[in-house]
Structure formats: C-alpha cells, structure tokens
Amino acid sequence: MSDPLVIAPNLKRRLSGVTATVVRLIPVQARMIAIRATGPGLPPEVPHIPLIRATMMPRDRWRVWHARRNTEMALGLILRRILRRRFRLMFTSAAQRHHTGFTRWLIRQQEALVATTPQAASYLERPATVVMHGVDTETFHPTADRAALRKSLGLDPDAVLIGCFGRVREQKGVDLLVGAGLDLLPTRPRAQIVFTGRITPDNRAFADDLKAKIRDAGLGDRIRFLGELPWADLVRHYQALDLFVAPARWEGFGLTPLEAMACGVPAIASRVGAYEALIRDGETGSLVTTGDRASLATALARWLDDDQARAEASLAARAHVEANHTIETEARALIAIYRDLLAR
C-alpha cells in the first residue's frame, strides 16, 4: 500500500467510545480513501500502520491528521510544527462541556473541526461541522428467529425483554432502570431486564447495592447483570431484545440506542447526548426526562403493555436508521472534509 492520505491516531489502549469509533469507522472509510489508523492495541481487522511510521511520513505531500483526543491533537502539532511533517490538522469533539484552557488552545490550532452533535459544537467556540455517528447496518440487523436466538443465549424466549448495555455506573442511569423495574415487573410477569457491561472497582459498591435491592424484591431471576460480553455476543443480545433503554444522566453522544434500533428494537432514552436527534419520540421509541425514574417507568409501561405498538416501532426503528444514520453516511461526510483539507 502507498502512504495513506489520512492518519487517524488512537493513543489509548483501553476500550473507550473514541476507540470504538476508530475501530468501526476506519474499515469503512478505507474503502473510500487511503486512510490508516495508528496507535496501540488496535485489532488486526482495522487498517493501521505502526505509530513510528505514521509520525515519519515523507514530506512529499499534505496529509490529514484526524485527532479525537487532546493527546492526539498535541502530537499532531508536534509533527507539524517541530518535525515539519505536512499534516493538515483536524479534530472531532463529542464533549458537551466547557473545555479547559489548554484544550481550547489546542482546538484553535486545528484547521478543521467536527462535532458529533450540535450541542458539542456549541462548546468549541469556533465554527464546526456536525457529523453524527452512524451504525453498521450489516452488522446490526434484526434476527430472523428471535426465539431461537434467545434459547441459544440462555434467555427466556417468551419474555418481553428489556436491555441496557454499557458500563454499570450512576452516569448511565442504571439505578433508574432498576428502580423502574422494581416498580413495574411485579404486575407484568412477562417483563425481564438484562444489563451488560463492565463493573469497574470504583462502581462495585454501586452495583452490589442494586443487586441487593433486586434480591430483596424477589426479582433476581428477572433483572440480571450479565457482565462484559464479547463483541459478537453483544450484537446477538441486541437482536434478542424487545426494548432498549438508555437512561443516562449525561452522555457525549451515545451510540447504543442507534445500534438497538438498527436491530429493530425500539429505544427509550433520556434527553442527553444525541438521543433527541436519534429517536423519534412515539415512533421509534420514547424520550424521557433526564434523571426521572417516574418518567422512565411511564414510558416503559406504555411499550410493555402494547405488543402491537412495539411491533410497529420495531419496523420504524430499523427503517429510520437505514434512511438517516448509516455508518457510510458518517464516513462520506468526514471524507468530504478530508478532501477539502487536502485540496487547500
């Protein structure tokens, strides 16, 4: 392969939302433009080059350095200003908060800015192009036989199954869904809830307290924590659901409802991150008041009690993602910015 036109650094070993973005997006973009990721811990299926090679690109032409973290912006500046590499600097931000002085300075050095939501754009203090994340609709799609899939996963094929995926912590609103479940499940015997995601040591007491409340209510077999799952198993669990819930108290973007809807699963989410732009309230799911257990319980009850409405929302959710939120749409929008930078 000739030297790439675009480098997407990923300077973090641990899995994060940014790393997940690089892992899913670069293979799609690589079919459209000469792009490579670089950094530690990238899986072999992601087109990438060693970091030392990425930082020593020949000076024969301009290339794009597409950063998504402060460290990556800083390295891009070092390459451009000190090592005199011919990189156009680009940064994507998902943060919905005021940036530190150092981050604002780094942002001012960039030649192109992207925000994943209009809210994130408003914190950049410079013009930015909004490019929302998309989802791979070939990976995330409805299953042909949900009952058979559930049996293979050890899930009840006859349940109305609710899922909430992500790290188990207060920020994700896991306690709100547990509380709503404690309110609703005693009078809805078909309903069950499954959580997937890692429990870090600092959130162990939080999770243990929730599990104790579930046990005390006699619902230990109907509200379960499945732990962190391999990627392929996580996709299959999305496909097994009837409803997905994302009750986060705050969120940078929040891709999980989109992944669920691509699998034909209506989504309930709080009004944070990009959720208001992703979910059509009443059509592909529901939007609820952030941090409000009662609002969440009301929305859950509506969908749990109406099988026909869930079936219609399932079809609408998949169609909505296919029409508006595919990963190819995201890839093409970013590549248009790359080409503009390269043409300057």
Task: Say whether 195 sits in a helix, a strand or coil.
Answer: strand
Kindly tell me if the per-residue pLDDT of 335 is higher than 70.
yes
**Same structural domain for residues 156 and 282?**
yes
**Same structural domain for residues 86 and 13?**
yes
Q: What is the pLDDT of residue 1?
A: 52
Q: Is residue 139 part of a domain?
A: no
Q: Is residue 315 part of a domain?
A: yes
pLDDT band at 206 (very low <50, low <70, confident <90, very high): very high
The whole-number average pLDDT for the span 304-333 is 97
Backbone angles phi and psi of 324, in degrees to 5: -130, -20
**Same structural domain for residues 178 and 238?**
yes
Q: What is the pLDDT of residues 74-127, one digit of tens each?
A: 999 999 999 999 999 999 998 888 999 999 999 999 999 999 988 899 999 899
**Same structural domain for residues 34 and 94?**
yes
**Same structural domain for residues 270 and 334?**
no
**Same structural domain for residues 164 and 291?**
yes
pLDDT band at 253 (very low <50, low <70, confident <90, very high): confident
Q: How far apart are CA 17 and CA 150, in angstroms?
A: 27
Q: How far apart are CA 313 and CA 319, in angstroms?
A: 10
Q: How far apart are CA 252 and CA 318, in angstroms?
A: 23
Q: Is residue 48 part of a domain?
A: yes
**Same structural domain for residues 258 and 245?**
yes
Kindly tell me if the per-residue pLDDT of 152 is higher than 70.
yes
**Same structural domain for residues 233 and 252?**
yes
Q: What is the pLDDT of residues 168-196, one digit of tens each?
A: 999 999 999 999 999 999 999 999 999 99
The CATH number given to whatever domain includes residue 171 is 3.40.50.2000
Q: Is residue 140 part of a domain?
A: no
Task: Say whether 180 sits in a helix, a strand or coil.
Answer: helix
| Structural domains of the chain, count | 2
Q: Is residue 1 part of a domain?
A: no
Q: What is the pLDDT of residue 15?
A: 64
Task: Say whether 48 sits in a helix, a strand or coil.
Answer: strand
**Same structural domain for residues 165 and 212?**
yes
The whole-number average pLDDT for the span 122-136 is 94
Kindly tell me if the per-residue pLDDT of 16 is higher than 80.
no
**Same structural domain for residues 88 and 224?**
no
**Same structural domain for residues 196 and 224?**
yes
pTM of the model: 0.85
**Same structural domain for residues 249 and 317?**
yes
Token pair of 127, please?
């013009």
Kindly tell me if the per-residue pLDDT of 2 is higher than 80.
no
Q: What is the pLDDT of residue 262?
A: 98
- Residue-range definition of the domain harbouring residue 36: 6-134+326-343
Distance (Å) of CA 154 to CA 72, 102, 107, 157, 233? 42, 49, 48, 9, 12
Q: How far apart are CA 88 and CA 329, in angstroms?
A: 23
Q: Is residue 42 part of a domain?
A: yes
Q: Is residue 34 part of a domain?
A: yes
Q: Is residue 78 part of a domain?
A: yes
Name the residue with higher pLDDT: 288 or 274: 288
Token pair of 56, please?
């020593």
Q: How far apart are CA 55 and CA 35, in angstroms?
A: 14
pLDDT band at 41 (very low <50, low <70, confident <90, very high): confident
Closest CA relative to residue 29, chosen from 74, 79, 92: 92
Strands across the sheet containing 223-225: 223-225, 191-196, 160-165, 243-246, 267-270, 285-288
